[in-house]
Structure 1
Amino acid sequence: MLTLPALTLREWNGPLTADLVREPSRFGLGQLPLRLQPDGTARSICGFCSTGCGLKLHLKEGEAINATPDPDYPVNLGTACPKGWEALTPLDAPDRATTPLHHGQPIDWSAAMDVFCTRMKEVMAQHGPESVAFISTGQIMCEEMAFLGTLAKFGMGMIHGDGNTRQCMATAVTAYKESFGFDAPPFTYGDFEESDVLVFIGANPCIAHPIMWQRVLRNPRDPKIIVVDPRTTETAMAAHQHYAIQPKSDLTLLYGLAHLLIRDNALDTTFIEEHTADFEAFSAFIQDYTPARVSQETGLSEEQLQCFADTIRLGTPRVSFWWTMGVNQSHQATRTAQAIINLALMTGNIGKPGTGANSITGQCNAMGSRLFSNTTNLIGGHDFKNPLHRAKIAQALRIPESQIPDQPSLAYDQILEGIETGKIRALWIIATNPSHSWINQNRFNELMGKLDFLVVQDMYATTETSRQAHLFLPAAGWGEKEGTFINSERRIGVSRQVRKAPGQALSDLRIYRLIAHAWGLGDMFAEWTSPEAVFHILKRCTEDQPCDISGITDYSMIENRGGIQWPLSGAASSSFETERRLFSDGLFYTADQRARFVFDVPQLPPELPDSEFPLILLTGRGTSAQWHTETRTKKSEVLKKLAPEELLIEIHPDDALKLGIRDGDKTVISSRRASLIAKARVSPTVSKGQVFLPMHDARVNQLTYWAVDPHSRQPSYKHCAVKVSLCEV
């Protein structure tokens, strides 16, 4: 096992050499000096969800041994969910990857770099630059995302690369861009505490974002809480009004609410006239969405619809609308998100305390991925197709403009379809486990077998995806490296290194440095010496953009201010509020500074129940102790005890009676793609004709149907046809 010398990254700013590739530990590539607070702790941002909680990391002999919530951080105010308390545990897992692997056999970094570069260059020489692609993540730091995208696209010559943010937030990105002119979530977490009415659509913050839910419970205004969800979730149980609509009828519902608000004159006409466009066309469009029609299509009564609309009308001007995966993961996700935005615009619930059309992000750095990953957007929220943007970024990165592609990447699903057709021949997957998480999982894994070369870069060589890799690169995890995350409210926070990475594992940024050198790009990335050095490059890339962060001086400024929400330009850096919302001036990022009403005709889900598969499968988060594919949370014995020991399927009592199923029975759940076994939980939390499975189990996405929203290309996880029967074994 390699040991780490006293030399640190802060002391190494020279060029990468062949010796560095062979012996990275000689140059301190696994360790950064700790930055301690006066109380002897280090402070960091949690690396799980998008809430972005502040943690205090307690040290013994220079390494973190425990994590507690930071009482002074403005996001979580001294609270943490179970994952935050256990944040360090995944670093100690016995199956941590400690060395590169080639076809499962240990090799050193020099050999790994030779294999990586030789095979990638061979594929590109034979099949062209569009034959290789990368799949990134919302789990690594902004600086690492930017390095990866810049290295792969502007250095190595790849055209295509996307991130697993496509699975959670692509819909919000697309909706905000078209409606507001930029991917700009307008809210701050303070809005949870300042609303008179909070509407949660396809969101279960009580479980998925429990610290955000704590902010809701702190609201002193005695707010009305409304939940729109087919399932009676934990959040729905706490709501004043729960509307258990038919799955994927939310777009019709939202148009129906707009119809009632217009009919009842519950509009902010001044705001509409001065700050929006296309309202007249929208108003004409929704005249067909009468209470009778909407009632029939959603399953709600006309009285329920009127009550919903009246609550919004009487709550104005302090109504906030919140959505997450129940909206985003749909075959018509973008238009549904924009229907939520339309409600906020028409009632003037935007840019003021306690208001907004607010997308809650999923991963810890999904927002960073949206701005800096160089996937479908050019770094800093720019456009690959815009020559002025390409020239600006080339100057900021100090590279020739000719190295920047003039076309965006294929989206995640299109990259996978490219493997099917033979267009994509090599794939590099970083810090994500799509062999577990992608829709129609069996088809995905068949596609991995078609690749000429598969590289996986991860903390663990034991994930479903890692086990299929031709070349595996061991990466440091959260707590073993530093950089910045951006949370749901646009707050940039610093995550610090408090542990040494095991064995030869390196931070993702250091891996990219090695690849750049081995590829022959050392001069191009001479400035990219440390995370903070990269952060200063990102500042240049954002100048004059809506996400401008050029006013942030350094990491210390971010920590001292309790995180900083973008934007913060140089002109505004001397005085700014801890919590800031967008659009308080009514000016948006479109060419005419007006927000757009965007709408379209609802479409039926692509796979409907029938006589053979009569039930609709819903999927979602299981408990607050589980996270995505459980690659990390299953390493914690504490978190495992807070989650069910085996897979449970929720089924309505009437359906269970009809099928002869009792609570606790083993059942077989089948779709047209696969079957699995789960224990029955007979409960009215789901409606008749529906069942629910948590997404964390490795088998669940064998059932789901491969469909995506046509605008955002986001997968539709939460609706497919299944049948359930009593297991005879």
Structure 2
Amino acid sequence: MSTTADPTRMDQLQSLLHQRTGPLTRELLLKPGEFGLGKVPARQLPDATTNMVCGYCSTGCGLNVHLQEGTAVALTPTTDYPVNLGMACPKGWEALTVLDSPDRATVPMLRNASGKLEPVTWDTAMQTFVERLQGIQKQHGAESVAFLSTGQIPTEEMALLGALTKFGMGIVHGDGNTRQCMATAVVAYKQAFGFDAPPYTYADFEESDVIVLIGSNICIAHPIMWERVMRNPHDPEIIVVDPRMTETAMNASLHLPLAPKSDQTLLYGIARILIENNWVDHDYIDQHTNDFQEFREYVAQFSLERVARESGLSEQQIQRFAELIHDGKRVSFWWTMGVNQSHQGVRTAQAIINLALMTGNIGRPGTGANSITGQANAMGSRLFSNTTNLLGGHDFANPEHREKIAGILGINSEVIPTQNSWAYDEIIEGILRGKIKGLWVICTNPAHSWINQTQCRDILDRLDFLVVQDMYGNTETVQMADLVLPAAGWGEKEGTQINSERRIGLVKKLRPAPGQALADFSIFKLVAEYWGCGDMFAQWESPEAVFQLLKECSRGTPCDFSGIDDYEMIDKAGGIQWPYPEKRADNAGERRLFADGEFFHADGKAKFLFEDPRPLTEKPTHRYPFILLTGRGTVAQWHTQTRTRQSAVLRKLYPENPFVEINPADARALNIRPGEWTIVESQRGRLRAKAMVTHAIKAGQLFIPMHYEPTNRLTDPVFDPYSRQPSYKSCAVNISREGF
């Protein structure tokens, strides 16, 4: 189509620039047309307090936002919100501060002939976007353009992006950065339960008498969840399975410092002990599961001696682990990135699920096989982004599903792809192979976060056209972009998020975005108009209108929330967990799945799934004798630090420079002193890091936080075969004093 601006389109552009990001929160009673591009005049807004969910991690805390003369001046945790009950972590307390950063992206930027990014108008940005990407598709085919999305924008924006790209722009391949954190749990649940369905509620932290945390340092990664553990009145046994003596492990009843990636073997060995001692719930197994007999026969090979040898744990530690599970009346199993980010993450997660099923620890208070999500809206991305599945957990390959979604959206089902997208790693490989020439990156930073960073940057540099849409103009990926689209952040737009426990919470607009930045929702609407498919999205007129469409997409599915009337109902309820089907919804503040023993497979039963454990993909060698572990550094850091580094308060709470944890014995052998600069290198790259000498890490292992820019120069690009999730947690490295 021609991209010459026409009056109708220009009118809409001006309208979007005027309205910016939609109406301010309804408590403030301000119409969207009452402000321009500058600061909201204080006289227009009364003093008020409103509440909304935090936009950082998947915990989904409720925050009170206090306004003085129309300006958001402070935050406090919401005392009666069922998630955090009046608690907040440092990131939540600083959520407003990072919005005022001088690094905000405030105007579209286009790389000029001399290679410099320079400001352009939104009209020029949109015309360039369309001309370049449509030109690539015309020359190389529809599949030559892809997108990479995020778990950090509202569900309605994710859905609009997924529908726009897949139905309107003819883009087949698009994935989200949730592939880096939650894909393993998604696949594990789908295969075992029949749907991506974390079964728990946060109340289970307080109801368990045995809490098993596997590869999960919730003290640091999810501190409010740890606070819920601390509220538990039952004096629970806390078992932490983790190679490092993490902050969570320091507070455990039993810490099992197993060899990296031997957790699958350990869990099979625990299953064998439980079976041999008849410490299983035969009635539950018979009524609600399939394939237990095959599982029983399979785990017989995991003798106590074998498990001790392969895990590095003592036989007494392993036996004690099994005994604590047996002694518990309400045992809950929790895992996060230490399991998910693995070359065998899916089967390891299912080994956890198997333990919950065989002991009947699911569906009751204080139980469950519970994956803890990473990003604020990773659950929304998993269900409604059109990446790993069709809207609402439907299947692109299922004709009935395509017809259902097409009917709800008022589109021809023939525009819906009949195949699933390539996964994130396959998209990156597609660029390398010359199959993908144009890429649109939304609210994520792959030049920092993707595994084997040096290769990733080289691959991104091969694109014909890279568009990056972000709220900050200084991310590593923005610096590589040909076109930068400035986006609004949390608190500058509205929508919903779905947290780890399936709770749908509300995000509100408290202020306009700076400069000419627009809500991602408005940017997607602009793209639709300039691309020539705007009519397809006429009923997608606002985030709340999209919410109503998604309700219908969810109807009749396990994630059905058709009983939720509107945003106001979510607000008044303090968030609502799915499922919440129309005419069958209850008013319970917290609800868990599978209380009736019914799962989502056709026969209503869960499946036992298992497979031979596989060795580390990169073992230590003479040249690279250490195993590198990565993970969350401090509670004040978040992912690539795009936001947290914008707060002076948060920066004071973590080391400015990368650091590497090393065991004292290894430090003595290498003459490395605390605080000394070291060089850590793998086959793929090297970095400088200050030595932190600590018994928290075992001899032969090192630990570097994932947040620092150079960390992923080292990591090894291997992936789980079922989830395609990267294995960030282990690779072979060397360490030496700098200059030696």
Q: What is the TM-score normalised by the length of structure 2? A: 0.95
**Equivalent residue number for residue 310 of structure 1:** 323
Contact 1:651 1:690 in 2 (8 A): yes
**2:227 is the alignment partner of 1:227:** no
Contact 1:625 1:639 in 2 (8 A): yes
Per the TM alignment, residue 247 of structure 1 is displaced from its structure 2 partner at its CA by: 0.4
Per the TM alignment, residue 16 of structure 1 is displaced from its structure 2 partner at its CA by: 10
* 1:101 counterpart (99, 109, 113): 109
Distance in 2 between the 1:452 and 1:475 partners?
23
Distance in 1 between the 2:8 and 2:306 partners?
69
* 2:703 counterpart (684, 692, 704): 692
Q: Give SS of 2:268's match.
A: helix
**2:715 is the alignment partner of 1:724:** no
* 1:64 counterpart (32, 53, 72): 72
**2:407 is the alignment partner of 1:399:** no
Q: 1:301 to 1:16 in 2, by over 3 A?
A: farther
Distance in 1 between the 2:243 and 2:704 partners?
13
Equivalent residues in 2 for 1:156-167, closer than 5 Å: 156-167=169-180
* 1:244 counterpart (241, 252, 257): 257
Q: 1:16 to 1:401 in 2, by over 3 A?
A: farther
**2:681 is the alignment partner of 1:670:** yes
Contact 2:48 2:68 in 1 (8 A): no
Amino acid at match of 1:637: A
Distance in 1 between the 2:72 and 2:494 partners?
14
Equivalent residues in 2 for 1:551-630, closer than 5 Å: 551-573=563-585, 575-630=586-641
| 1:50-100 Cα deviation digits (max 9, x unpaired) | 000000011122231211101111100010000000001111000111110
| 1:328-373 Cα deviation digits (max 9, x unpaired) | 0000000000000000000000000000000000000000000000
**Equivalent residue number for residue 423 of structure 2:** 411
**2:206 is the alignment partner of 1:215:** no
Detail structure 1 runs of 4+ shifted over 3 Å in the superposition: 24-27
**2:149 is the alignment partner of 1:136:** yes
Contact 1:45 1:55 in 2 (8 A): yes
Amino acid at match of 2:689: A
Per the TM alignment, residue 21 of structure 1 is displaced from its structure 2 partner at its CA by: 5.0
Amino acid at match of 1:643: Y
Distance in 1 between the 2:624 and 2:285 partners?
46
Amino acid at match of 2:542: S
Q: What is the TM-score normalised by the length of structure 1? A: 0.97
Per the TM alignment, residue 35 of structure 1 is displaced from its structure 2 partner at its CA by: 2.4
**Equivalent residue number for residue 74 of structure 1:** 82
Distance in 2 between the 1:20 and 1:688 partners?
65
Q: Give SS of 2:419's match.
A: coil
Q: Give SS of 1:456's match.
A: strand
* 1:633 counterpart (633, 636, 644): 644
Contact 1:490 1:565 in 2 (8 A): yes
**2:498 is the alignment partner of 1:486:** yes
Q: Give SS of 1:381's match.
A: coil
Per the TM alignment, residue 387 of structure 1 is displaced from its structure 2 partner at its CA by: 0.7
Distance in 2 between the 1:383 and 1:694 partners?
37
* 1:388 counterpart (396, 400, 404): 400
Q: Give SS of 1:723's match.
A: strand
Q: Give SS of 1:257's match.
A: helix
Amino acid at match of 2:27: L
| 1:237-271 Cα deviation digits (max 9, x unpaired) | 00000000000000000000001000111000000
| 1:481-502 Cα deviation digits (max 9, x unpaired) | 0100000000000010101101
Contact 2:24 2:511 in 1 (8 A): no
Amino acid at match of 1:666: W
Deviates more, 1:119-128 or 1:143-152: 119-128
**Equivalent residue number for residue 281 of structure 1:** 294
Count residues in correspondence.
Answer: 713
Per the TM alignment, residue 576 of structure 1 is displaced from its structure 2 partner at its CA by: 2.3
**2:343 is the alignment partner of 1:331:** yes
**Equivalent residue number for residue 657 of structure 2:** 646
**2:376 is the alignment partner of 1:364:** yes
**Equivalent residue number for residue 726 of structure 2:** 715
* 1:379 counterpart (391, 405, 408): 391
| 1:670-700 Cα deviation digits (max 9, x unpaired) | 1011111111111110011000000110000
Per the TM alignment, residue 30 of structure 1 is displaced from its structure 2 partner at its CA by: 3.2
Contact 2:13 2:526 in 1 (8 A): no
**Equivalent residue number for residue 98 of structure 2:** 90
Distance in 2 between the 1:487 and 1:581 partners?
14
Per the TM alignment, residue 22 of structure 1 is displaced from its structure 2 partner at its CA by: 4.4
Q: Give SS of 1:721's match.
A: strand
Per the TM alignment, residue 309 of structure 1 is displaced from its structure 2 partner at its CA by: 0.2
**Equivalent residue number for residue 668 of structure 2:** 657
Equivalent residues in 2 for 1:489-500, closer than 5 Å: 489-500=501-512
Contact 1:630 1:696 in 2 (8 A): yes
Deviates more, 1:656-665 or 1:706-715: 656-665
Q: Give SS of 1:725's match.
A: strand
Q: Give SS of 1:608's match.
A: coil
| 1:16-40 Cα deviation digits (max 9, x unpaired) | 9322454245641334133228982
| 1:590-649 Cα deviation digits (max 9, x unpaired) | 011100000000001111111000000000001000000000000000000011122211
**Equivalent residue number for residue 345 of structure 1:** 357
| 1:115-153 Cα deviation digits (max 9, x unpaired) | 011111111111111111000000000000000000000
**Equivalent residue number for residue 560 of structure 2:** 548
Distance in 2 between the 1:312 and 1:33 partners?
50
| 1:354-409 Cα deviation digits (max 9, x unpaired) | 00000000000000000000002001000101111111011111100000000000
Distance in 1 between the 2:273 and 2:527 partners?
58
Contact 1:485 1:494 in 2 (8 A): yes
* 1:272 counterpart (268, 271, 285): 285
Distance in 2 between the 1:26 and 1:592 partners?
52
* 1:513 counterpart (494, 512, 525): 525
Amino acid at match of 2:140: H
| 1:424-446 Cα deviation digits (max 9, x unpaired) | 11100000011100100000000
Distance in 2 between the 1:20 and 1:216 partners?
54
Contact 1:245 1:298 in 2 (8 A): yes
Deviates more, 1:54-63 or 1:445-454: 54-63
Distance in 1 between the 2:70 and 2:495 partners?
19
Q: Give SS of 2:81's match.
A: coil
Distance in 2 between the 1:89 and 1:27 partners?
25
Q: 1:140 to 1:20 in 2, by over 3 A?
A: farther
**Equivalent residue number for residue 11 of structure 1:** none
Q: Give SS of 2:602's match.
A: coil
**Equivalent residue number for residue 4 of structure 1:** none
Q: Give SS of 1:523's match.
A: helix
Distance in 2 between the 1:426 and 1:94 partners?
29
Contact 1:90 1:636 in 2 (8 A): yes
Amino acid at match of 2:676: D
Distance in 2 between the 1:45 and 1:506 partners?
20
**Equivalent residue number for residue 528 of structure 1:** 540
Q: Pairwise CA RMSD of aligned residues?
A: 1.3
**Equivalent residue number for residue 26 of structure 2:** 35
Distance in 1 between the 2:297 and 2:8 partners?
66
Unaligned runs of 5+ in 2: 1-5, 29-45, 112-116
Contact 1:22 1:108 in 2 (8 A): no
**2:58 is the alignment partner of 1:50:** yes
Distance in 2 between the 1:270 and 1:18 partners?
64
Amino acid at match of 1:351: G
| 1:499-557 Cα deviation digits (max 9, x unpaired) | 11011100000000100111111211111111101100100100100000110000010
Q: 1:26 to 1:713 in 2, by over 3 A?
A: closer
| 1:689-713 Cα deviation digits (max 9, x unpaired) | 0000001100000010111100000
Unaligned runs of 5+ in 1: 1-14
Distance in 2 between the 1:501 and 1:26 partners?
11
